[in-house]
Amino acid sequence: MDTRKKTALIAVAGLLAFYLLTKGLNALSSSPGANSYKSYCAKCHGEQGEGLGTLVPPLNNADWLKTNSSNLACVIRYGIKDSIQVNGQWYDEEMLGLSALSEVQIANICNYISSNFTETKHFYTPEEIENSLQGCKDEKGN
Ligand code: HEC
């Protein structure tokens, strides 16, 4: 094969790889979890889960989330009233529950947060979400 053909071939392969990569990244960023996170959580917790000063705690690398990962579904549905400490900072504002979200939406958001903002990248199964929601529902006497 002459050099011109080789260069052309490499250029085509490069373009193809670039196309597949951007397509893959787009698919990731427009997953249902990403969309729901952006619509329902990002205005307070930030696009990158960075939080909002001393008003809203971070989700990205949050120690609270590490120790309470099994409560995430309950927090989304029922909110949190008590003051909590996250990464050494106290937060006193209440978070209202997002009671209109379905279990599937909650599962997608939990998995989006887990795979983007935590090291463990725990995968929440729909069954796990259902069990934990059942648990906090009983606790709240609803
Ligand atoms: C209106 C603002 C607001 C929205 C919207 C909101 N939160 Fe919160 N969130 C808060 C505040 C304020 C706290 C702190 C609550 C406290 O101190 O009792 C909090 C606390 C948390 C915590 C526990 C602390 C931490 O950072 O690890 C988690 C987890 C959480 N929110 C997840 C979510 C998720 C997921 C969504 C979207 C489904 C969401 N929040 C939507 C304001 C909000």
134 vs 136: CA distance, rounded Å: 6
Among candidates 14, 21, 7, 120, which has minimal Cα distance to 72? 120
Decide: 62 in ligand 1 pocket, CB within 6 A: yes
Q: Ligand 1: does its nearest atom lie under 6 Å from the Cβ of 80?
A: yes
Q: Is the CB of 34 under 6 A from ligand 1?
A: no
For ligand 1, is residue 112 a contact (CB within 6 Å)? Answer: no
Residue of 44, 54, 68, 74 best suited for mutating to test ligand 1, as the one with most atoms within 8 Å of CB: 44
**For ligand 1, what atom is nearest to the CA of residue 92?**
17
**pLDDT attached to residue 83:** 97
pLDDT digits (tens), the chain, 142 positions: 787 877 777 777 766 665 556 555 555 556 999 999 999 999 999 999 999 999 999 999 999 999 999 999 999 999 999 999 999 999 999 999 999 999 999 999 999 999 999 999 999 999 999 999 999 876 765 5
Q: Look at ligand 1, atom 5, and give the residue with the nearest C-alpha.
A: 41
Alpha carbon nearest to ligand 1 atom 39, residue: 41
Side-chain half-sphere CA neighbours of 43 within 13 A: 4
The CA distance from 43 to 93, in Å, is 15
pLDDT of the residue at 2: 80
